[in-house]
Structure formats: C-alpha cells, structure tokens
Amino acid sequence: MKKTRLLKVFFLTAMLAGMLSCSLITEAFTSDAAYFPMRTEDGVGLMDCEGEWVVEPLEKGIMPQMMVDGVAPYMNFFSENENQVGIMDKDGVFLLEDAFYRAFPYSDGLAAVHIENMVRFVDQTGAYAFEDAFPFVTNAFPRFENGLANVPYEVRDNGTGLVIAESMVFIDKEGNKILGPYLSAFPFSNGYAAVTTRVNDEYISGFIDDQGAFVLQFSERDNLRPAGEYADGLFPVRDIEMQMKENVCAIGFMNQDKEWVIEPQYCRVGRFSDGLAAVAGENDMGLFEFGFIDTEGKTVIKPQFTMDYPPEFRGGCTAVAWDNYNGFGLIDTSGKMIYEFER
C-alpha cells in the first residue's frame, strides 16, 4: 500500500469513532475532551478546539489518531515491524510501541485493536481488557459504547480472501455475550443501536435499547432501513422504495413515532453531535461532499469537505479534509477554520 493511501486510511480511522461509524447515553462522547491530529510541514501533532497544540508535531512518520481521555493510538510508518501501531499519552510519551497492526480511537475507555487477523480490546495502558478475541472482518467495526460492543459472532470467507460477519452479538466489558445474535449490528449511540434480525422468515430492522427491545422497528414491507447512528432524538433512516423508484439518494431523519423530521434526501449522513450532523449528496465526481445541518434540517455549513466518511464534532470542533486529503483543517460549529494545512 502506498504511503499516501496509508496516510489517508489513518486519517479516516482518527476521525471515526463506525459501521463506520459514539456516545454514551449521557452524551459523554460528545463532551469528553478530544484532540485531533493536525498536519504541519514538520509532522503531525494533536490540537484542541482552541487551536492550541496539546501534543506538539511529532517527527515525520509518527501519525497519532484522535486522542480521547488523554490517550491515543499512533502509527509509526518507519517501523520495520509488521505491527506499527502503539499507544501514546498527551505528554507525547509512547506507552506501547509496535504492538498492533491497526487500532481505532478510544471509546468508553477501551480501544479495538487488530492483531494477527483478530480484534481485541485494550484499556488505556494498552493491556487487554479481557482474553476473548474476535475475527477481523471487513463489514463491521467493533466499538464499546454504553458498556456494550458489537462484535462478529459467525463469519465466512466471501470468496476473495476477505472475511465478513454473517452475524453479530453485543458483549460487555468482561467479554460476555449480552444481546444477539443479529444479522447485523452497529455500535450503540446514545443508548440505541441499529440492528437487523430475522423473525419467522421475515427480516426486521430498526433500533434497539440496551435490553434488546426495539424502540423503532421496520418490517420488510416498510421499505425503510437504519442508515446510521442515533442522537438528539433523531434516527437516520433510508427510504428504500424512494431510492429504487426515483434513483436518488434517500436518507433522512425520523423521530421515534416513525415520522420524518428531516425528509430523505442525502447519500450519506453522520450522527448529530454538538447539534449538527454531517450530510452529503453526490457531486459530479461521485465523491461525498459533506456539509452540516442542524436538527431541523437547516444547512449551517455548506457542503465543501470531500471525504470518505462523515466528520463529527467533539466539544465544539472537528477535523475535516478536502482536495483528496491534500488539505486538512479544524473547524468550529459555525464552519470557521481554526487551523488549516495544505500539502
């Protein structure tokens, strides 16, 4: 893999907190201190929402991810080891070096790490939280929120050498299976998680609470499917019938009464955080161009950030990219650029 691609992948994982896409029911995720990786000519450091360096730019080749609660995974591109990822603290001290092949930002006190084709969870010292390990799959990314994490249960090779999850379960912080299995399961967000299951030969999807009860449920006949993560009373939902009949993007936001609050019109959406959600249509190049809307659907920041995944605000700011990841920046909730760098 070329270095430019690696930089892009690592920037994406720094911004994800899902599938791909993270809050506790208390909204802790969006209020916890988070520091974002920002580039300079000399290297990458970690910056707060005031535009101040929390960790000064590190030597070239050291790429930290988003830092939560004072710890962050980082990648050393110049390491000769297959496992190039370690853990660092806000003083820039490497707590663990060359330990993992891949890692995702901390959430709910734990981070998912990829090692030897398996996924495990580590605490803030880099120690394994429990002994259980789970197959690394390409269609689901485990993450703890609300004390639960979505992990693969049954897997298969898709015929091209990639392993995919055929079913998922939710585990607690001791590795115990709590909910499931489901055909698919996304991480919890503000107390609810999007799942798909099968009941009496019918596919059922929607959002469940941490007891496994549906709070918003769709049958096959509804032609509606979850399309992201819940926040601020709004559930992202895809209108399958509209998308198929009109050949348009058709993701909007519903309330718990199954009423459209924001009509389906988007190709990709993020979760609401700090009162805003990233949304994207499709530009002429077929890329996602993200802007931000408020909970009433009003555009607050016009579409301008061309990225693979929706950015999400943390404590009043978020990292963004443009020009095929040649431009990087940090913006506030008004869209004002706090910091920017173009290479």
Helices (H) and strands (E) in the chain, counts: 3, 31
Of 323, 318, 267, 278, give the one whose Cα is nearest residue 301. Answer: 278
Angle at 279 between CA 150 and CA 286, to 5 degrees: 100
How far is the C-alpha of 114 from the C-alpha of 227, rounded, in Å? Answer: 26
What's the first-to-final CA gap in the chain, in angstroms? 20
Q: Give the pLDDT score at 27.
A: 32
Task: Give the pLDDT score at 178.
Answer: 98
Report the DSSP pairing between strands 184-185 and 193-199. antiparallel
Calculate the alpha carbon distances from 335 to 9, 67, 99, 199, 255 in Å.
Answer: 24, 22, 37, 45, 27
Provide the token pair at 217: 């449920």
Q: Look at residue 160 in the predicted model and tell me its pLDDT.
A: 86
The first and second tokens of residue 99, run together, are: 């330990």
Among 207, 205, 212, CA closest to 178: 212
Query: What does the alpha-carbon distance between residue 115 and residue 256 come to, in Å, rounded to a whole number?
Result: 39
Give per-10-residue mean pLDDT for the chain (343 aa). 44 39 32 83 95 94 93 93 93 93 94 94 95 92 95 92 93 97 97 96 96 97 96 98 95 98 97 97 74 98 93 96 92 98 91
CA distance 162 to 306: 27
Residue 308 has a pLDDT of 87
pTM of the model: 0.88
Query: CA angle, corner 309, sides to 270 and 148, nearest 5?
Result: 60
Question: What are the angstrom distances between the C-alpha of 150 and each of 54, 57, 146, 181, 237?
Answer: 31, 34, 11, 10, 20
**pLDDT value for 330:** 98
Contacts of 7-10 with CB under 8 Å at 24 or more apart are 7/63, 7/325, 8/308, 8/325, 10/63, 10/65, 10/75
Give the per-residue pLDDT at 161.
Answer: 82
What pLDDT is recorded for position 14?
42
pLDDT of residue 286: 59
Q: Do 21 and 142 meet the contact criterion of CB atoms below 8 Å apart?
A: no
261 contact partners, CB below 8 Å, separation of at least 6: 234, 252, 253, 254, 255, 295, 296, 297
Q: Are 90 and 55 in contact (CB under 8 A)?
A: yes
* Element containing residue 243 per DSSP (H, E): helix 240-246
195, 206 Cβ separation under 8 angstroms: yes
Query: Two tokens at 233?
Result: 């009373």
Taking the CA atoms of 329, 333, 335 and 339 in sequence, report the sign of the dihedral they define: negative
Radius of gyration of the chain (CA): 19
